[in-house]
């Protein structure tokens, strides 16, 4: 009753909502880069959103299931196939014993999230199953998947009645609320920080009008952006303080870095702005070479957008009661 790794892919790690409550000890939060896709995958297979999903980066793995289970794949379109047939994203799918899930070219996005009904058997470390590679902590033995790994599944399905279940799940109509669909706007919204006004007017204008390129060394810790330099009117040393997912910090040199899931817990660079949480998934789906533009919104607007997304998840979870019933009664 497990998932066997035939090929590991470029970087496949288990991630959950993050390792909270440990930042005062210097332990990074980690967690899914695209929290929207992570939660969506879980909800679609009747899971609690806190369960770990497999975060799959650009070049996907090849996985074989030794028992039937119900899975959902969300986020990036990396041309997933099940036994060679295209796999539909954003739906609960029944897989049979010996089925193989594999991936092809990148259609759009950077990170796909694989959830299985009931979850993977992982041991929490400091309250979370997220993998934090720099400290070899959490997930599957603190590391990315390797060939021949066998990850046990907690709730495989029975063979009996499996075809009926597959048909019943397939015939369900599933509508994603607009707030949960792939974000369509071409920009990422930010909230100006207290130090915004310490940057030159040209820098402030540039960040809100010029496109920035995601550099090749962007990864789970931070996205380095390349573009018009952002300069302080009077450069000064900052005292280290707590950092957040989405902090836009600007080292001397003026090329901004957006702190992402594996960020360090504290930092001492000037902080110009913060990406609105609701748009972090959009940024997390960008890859090296992609261009990003920013628009400013108020803190109140950002929090209202966050509430709208939380409510949309609640609505979707209600609408998916039939999925949970089918899986429960199987």
Partner 1 sequence: MIAPTFTLRHLGDHCLSLDFGDAILAETGLICLAATEKIREARLPGVTDVVPSYTSVAVHYHAEPQTGLPNFQSLSESLTALIRAGLAPATHAQRTVDIPVCYGGEHGPDLSDVAKATGLTEQQVIQMHCAPGSMVFMLGFAPGHPYIGIHDPLFALPRRDVPRTVVPAGSVAIANRQSTIYPTRLPGGWHILGATPLKLFDLARPQPTLLLPGDHIRFVPISSAEFDQLAAQQNQVQA
**Radius of gyration in angstroms for the set of CA atoms belonging to the chain, rounded to a whole number:** 20
Cβ at position 147, least distance to partner 1 in Å = 26
Q: How many of the other CB atoms lie within 10 Å of CB of 106? A: 16
- Give kind and range of the element (H or E) at residue 322: helix 321-329
Element spanning 18, H or E: none
**Which CB sits closer to partner 1, 127 or 289?**
127
Q: How far apart are CA 35 and CA 52, in angstroms?
A: 11
Q: Tell the smallest beta-carbon distance from residue 304 to partner 1 (Å).
A: 9
Helix, strand, or coil here: 301?
A: helix
Dihedral sign, CA of 215, 217, 223, 229? negative
Distance of closest approach, residue 306 Cβ to partner 1, in angstroms: 6
72 close to 90: Cβ distance less than 8 angstroms: yes
Closest distance between partner 1 and the C-beta of residue 181, in Å?
A: 21
What is the smallest separation between the CB atom of 126 and partner 1, expressed in angstroms?
7
Q: To the nearest whole angstrom, how small is the minimum distance from the Cβ of residue 70 to partner 1?
A: 27
3-state secondary structure of 192: strand
Of the pair 124, 289, the CB lying nearest partner 1 is at: 124
**Closer to partner 1 by Cβ: residue 111 or 271:** 271
Taking residue 239's Cβ as centre, other Cβ atoms within 10 Å add up to 6
Q: Could you tell me if 121 and 127 are in contact, meaning their C-beta atoms sit under 8 angstroms apart?
A: no
What does the alpha-carbon distance between residue 54 and residue 175 come to, in Å, rounded to a whole number?
23
CB of 150 to partner 1, least distance (A): 24
The neighbour count for residue 186, using CB atoms within 10 Å, is 11
Q: Which residues contact 183 (CB under 8 A, 6 or more apart)?
A: 279, 281, 282
Nearer to partner 1, 137 or 153 (CB): 137
- The closest alpha carbon to 22, from 264, 184, 267, belongs to 264
E strand or H helix that includes residue 307: helix 299-319
Measured from the CB of residue 273, what is the shortest distance to partner 1 in angstroms? 8
Binding site for partner 1 (CB under 8 A): 20-29, 125-126, 134-135, 137, 191, 193-194, 239-247, 264-267, 271, 274-277, 299-300, 302-303, 306-307, 310-311, 314
* Comparison of 241 and 318: residue with beta carbon closer to partner 1: 241
Closer Cβ to partner 1, 120 or 274, answer by number: 274
Tell which residue, 201, 183, 198, has the closest CA to residue 275: 183
* 150-152 and 2-7 strand pairing: antiparallel
**Based on CB atoms, which residue is closest to partner 1, 90 or 315?**
315
Query: For residue 67, which of 151, 124, 123, 129 has the smallest C-alpha distance?
Result: 151
Which residue, 31 or 287, is less far from partner 1 as judged by CB? 31
Which residue lies nearer to partner 1 by CB, 191 or 225? 191
């Amino acid at each position: 009753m497990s998932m066997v790794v035939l090929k590991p892919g470029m970087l496949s790690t288990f991630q959950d909502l993050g390792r909270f409550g440990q930042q005062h000890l210097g332990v990074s939060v980690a967690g899914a880069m695209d929290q929207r896709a992570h939660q969506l995958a879980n909800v679609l297979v009747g899971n609690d959103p806190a369960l770990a999903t497999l975060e799959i980066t650009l070049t996907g793995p090849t996985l074989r299931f030794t028992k039937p289970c119900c899975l959902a794949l969300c986020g990036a379109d990396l041309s997933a196939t099940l036994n060679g047939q295209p796999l539909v994203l954003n739906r609960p799918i029944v897989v049979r014993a010996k089925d193989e899930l594999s991936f092809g070219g990148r259609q759009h996005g950077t990170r796909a999230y694989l959830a299985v009904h009931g979850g993977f058997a992982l041991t929490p470390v400091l309250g979370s199953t997220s993998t934090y590679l720099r400290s070899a902590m959490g997930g599957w033995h603190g590391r990315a998947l390797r060939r021949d790994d066998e990850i046990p599944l907690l709730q495989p399905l029975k063979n009996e009645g499996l075809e009926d279940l597959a048909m019943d799940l397939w015939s369900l109509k599933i509508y994603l609320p607009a707030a949960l669909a792939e974000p369509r706007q071409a920009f990422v919204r930010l909230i100006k920080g207290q130090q915004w006004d310490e940057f030159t007017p040209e820098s402030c204008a540039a960040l809100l009008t010029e496109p920035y390129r995601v550099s090749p060394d962007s990864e789970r810790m931070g996205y380095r952006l390349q573009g018009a330099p952002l300069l302080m009117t009077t450069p000064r040393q900052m005292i280290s303080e707590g950092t957040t997912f989405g902090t836009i910090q600007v080292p001397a040199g003026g090329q901004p870095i957006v702190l992402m899931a594996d960020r360090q817990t504290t930092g001492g660079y000037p902080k110009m702005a913060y990406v609105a949480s609701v748009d972090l998934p959009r940024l997390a789906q960008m890859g090296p070479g992609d261009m990003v533009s920013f628009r400013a919104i108020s803190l109140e607007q950002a929090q209202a957008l966050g509430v709208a997304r939380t409510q949309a998840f609640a609505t979707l979870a209600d609408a998916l009661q039939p999925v949970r019933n089918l899986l429960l009664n199987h």
